Structure 1
Amino acid sequence: MSRRFVSRWLSGFALTALLVVVCGQLLGGSLVRSQPARPVNLTVSAAISLTNALQDVQRLYRQNRSNVTLTYNFGASGALQQQIEQGAPVDIFVSAGSRQMEALRAKDFLLPGTQRNLLSNRVVLVTPKNASGITNFRDLASAGVRRIAIGEPRSVPAGQYAQEVLNSLGIAQQVQPKLVLAQNVRQVLSYVETGNVDAGIVYLTDARQSNRIRIAAFAPANSHSPAVYPVAVIKSSRSPEAARDFVQFLFSPRARTTFERYGFTTAS
């Protein structure tokens, strides 16, 4: 067998082997890409005032992320903060106030670079639907008003804002004996709906969910801290990339439209 023949044979064999490797890589790559994404479970702890909006957002998100299961844990932002500090398995936190998020940031619970302001809300005074004696916040100091529901200021951001409004208007001391403290803003709304209190202070978005109350007044401008909703990924998340992806979706046009439909103002 001549050297020239052997050389040609080896060259042909090498070329064939190379083609087999390349084709295998291409086919293997396409097979990998065609396989379904691995299942991911994300736990989202969020302010209870976001309940309806986030449930709608979940349906939108899963249209393109069917492998991701979202489990919501709704509650008062302060209570959710404490759960995270105590080691609860949470991937994403959406607070109804900056104070709770900043407390977690200061204790190094947040994944760096993921904290952003998502939404803002307005604070309103509500009464039972057929009540007509209360038309502004100062009316709360009148003798005819006996019980006023607000969230517990230490754990419920809406309660914190309510207390700030009362302080700003100079009526906090007068109405203090009338206050009924609730565990969250939805409980405040329930107290008003059932007539257990004469009035309550809630978010505009919660008030818009009920046809059993009326909005008596909006909190005066600059009478309370900005009612912002920050969001962040928790550092201990087992699926940080998936968590980042969901947070990014919260800022998408489709999600923003959903939030705005419920009365939230989306961050610029």
Structure 2
Amino acid sequence: MRDLAYHGKNHLESYLKSYKIILNYLSMSSETARATLSRRGTKMVQWLSLGIAVLAAFSTPVAAQPPGLVVSVAASVSDALDEIGRLYRAATGVTVAINTGGSHTLARQIVEGAGAGLFLSADDIQMNVVEKAGRLVPGTRTRLLTNELVVIAPTSSTEISLAQVLQGRIRRLAMGEPAAVPAGVYGRRWLEHEQSWARLEKLIVPFPTVRAVLSAVEAGRADAGIVYRTDVAGASVRVVAAIAANEHPYLDISYPVAVIRGPAESEARRFLDYLKSPAARAVFTKRGFRFDPAPAPQRENRAYGQRR
């Protein structure tokens, strides 16, 4: 009992920053809260989402269950991690709380001291940011999954073709923020390769996650969008074209994963091992992901402005 309490105390100290942000927000008057959200709404929501994940992992007394594990995962892989987390709890009794968002947002949270035990990014660029900040446990970083981009359109828009998109004969193209969101970085790289970036740049509507891009296209707020192939299953969109990885190797889409320094290292290592297990692989495969064959050390995923 004493060991469990001590372990839980260390976890909670690691997540103190997240708790303080939540408590400060809850103590505001409604007018102050509205003003704060209007000025810093996006960042506040990002930290609140992390705080909710922390509370979910530690919402029952330490004596009632083993300490939980908070993992920060890219939005495009969050559904798979939710399912794997449930399987892991059934197998081990350990609760896995998923903190999800854009990889660039998650990386910033971790660098600023947020208490995630594991980071699953949608590209190497954001994992490099965390590694350079000294937050990764050495030797734990590995490239886990691969994915592909697709161009989508609303189901009601049956006439939009890939040629129309590349030629700029549309009004709005939704995609992840090209300077930060991995899917946006990959999307810009592809458009540059197709020599279409210059004519499309002014038509782009940037979003913080691929899920937001998908929602915008589903609702008809954009004529076309660029998302991952794994995002479109069950969505009310039409796939205009698939950007096959074997035809566009310069994209090098990869999902690296690593353990974050802190009191949750041991449990995070166990969960990382579980992500490579047959049970987890079955979930990833069912949702359309493939496994990255690249061994460590990882190939560097260059920023959008660097050409291979």
Amino acid aligned to 1:133? E
Deviation at 1:38, TM superposition (A): 6.8
Change over 3 Å in CA distance of 1:69–1:101 after alignment to 2: same
Change over 3 Å in CA distance of 1:224–1:149 after alignment to 2: farther
Deviation at 1:109, TM superposition (A): 1.1
Residue 159 of structure 2: aligned partner? 133
Which of 88, 91, 94 is the matching residue for 1:61?
A: 88
Answer whether contact 1:168 1:224 (CA < 8 A) is retained.
Answer: no
Answer whether contact 1:165 1:223 (CA < 8 A) is retained.
Answer: no
Residue 130 of structure 2: aligned partner? 104
Q: 4+ residue runs of structure 1 moved beyond 6 angstroms?
A: none
* Counterparts of 1:201 and 1:256, CA distance in 2: 26
Normalised TM-score (structure 2): 0.71
Which of 236, 240, 258 is the matching residue for 1:216?
A: 240
Answer whether contact 1:168 1:223 (CA < 8 A) is retained.
Answer: no
Give per-residue Cα distances to partners, 1:240-265, cap 9 Å, x unaligned. Answer: 11110000000001100100101100
Answer whether contact 1:78 1:100 (CA < 8 A) is retained.
Answer: yes
Residue 142 of structure 2: aligned partner? 116
Larger relative contact order (Cα-Cα within 8 Å, sequence gap ≥ 6):
1
Residue 172 of structure 2: aligned partner? 147
Give per-residue Cα distances to partners, 1:66-98, cap 9 Å, x unaligned. Answer: 1x1211110000010001111111110000001
Q: Equivalent pairs: percent with the same residue?
A: 38
* Counterparts of 1:134 and 1:253, CA distance in 2: 40
Change over 3 Å in CA distance of 1:250–1:37 after alignment to 2: farther
Normalised TM-score (structure 1): 0.81
Give per-residue Cα distances to partners, 1:97-138, cap 9 Å, x unaligned. Answer: 0111112112221001110111110100000112122232x4
**Residue 201 of structure 2 is aligned to residue 176 of structure 1:** yes
Change over 3 Å in CA distance of 1:244–1:37 after alignment to 2: farther
Residue 13 of structure 1: aligned partner? none
Deviation at 1:44, TM superposition (A): 0.4
* Counterparts of 1:38 and 1:85, CA distance in 2: 29
Residue 239 of structure 1: aligned partner? 264
Which of 229, 234, 251 is the matching residue for 1:204?
A: 229
Answer whether contact 2:168 2:200 (CA < 8 A) is retained.
Answer: no
Residue 256 of structure 2: aligned partner? 230
Give per-residue Cα distances to partners, 1:214-256, cap 9 Å, x unaligned. Answer: 1110125226421110000001x21211110000000001100
Change over 3 Å in CA distance of 1:214–1:157 after alignment to 2: same
Residue 50 of structure 1: aligned partner? 77
Look up the SS of the partner of 2:99 in the other structure: strand
Residue 291 of structure 2: aligned partner? 266
Look up the SS of the partner of 1:110 in the other structure: coil
Answer whether contact 2:86 2:96 (CA < 8 A) is retained.
Answer: no
